[in-house]
C-alpha cells in the first residue's frame, strides 16, 4: 500500500483544546487529521503532539509537510 496518502490537498484548520493528539501520518485514517490505527496496513506511525493551550492548529492534510504534524504549505507543490 502506498503511504503516505494525500488525505486532502490542504490543511485541517481546527480549534483544539490542551491535550495529547495523535496526528495521522499515513493519510489512511477515517478520522483524519487524527489517527484511527489504519497505519497498520502500511507500517507508518502517528505523530504524537501535546497542545499546551487552546489554539487554532493547521494540521497537515497532504502528509508532505517538512514540519509534521503542522502544515508548512507543501500542498501548494502537489
Report domain extents, the chain. Answer: 12-69
φ, ψ (nearest 5 deg) of residue 74: -60, -25
Q: Residues 19-43: pLDDT tens digits?
A: 999 999 999 999 999 999 989 878 8
The pLDDT of residue 64: 95
The pLDDT of residue 41: 72
Q: How far apart are CA 6 and CA 67, in angstroms?
A: 16
Give the helix/strand (H/E) hosting 12.
strand 12-16
Distance of CA 73 to the CA centre of its chain: 13
Q: Which three cell numbers stand for residue 37?
A: 490505527
DSSP, res 57: E
Amino acid at each position: 500500500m502506498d503511504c503516505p496518502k494525500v488525505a486532502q490537498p490542504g490543511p485541517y484548520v481546527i480549534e483544539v483544546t490542551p491535550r495529547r493528539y495523535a496526528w495521522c501520518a499515513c493519510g489512511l485514517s477515517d478520522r483524519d487529521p487524527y489517527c484511527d490505527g489504519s497505519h497498520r496496513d502500511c507500517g507508518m506511525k502517528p505523530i504524537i503532539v501535546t497542545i499546551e493551550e487552546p489554539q487554532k492548529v493547521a494540521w497537515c492534510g497532504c502528509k508532505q509537510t517538512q514540519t509534521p504534524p503542522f502544515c508548512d504549505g507543501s500542498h501548494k507543490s502537489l
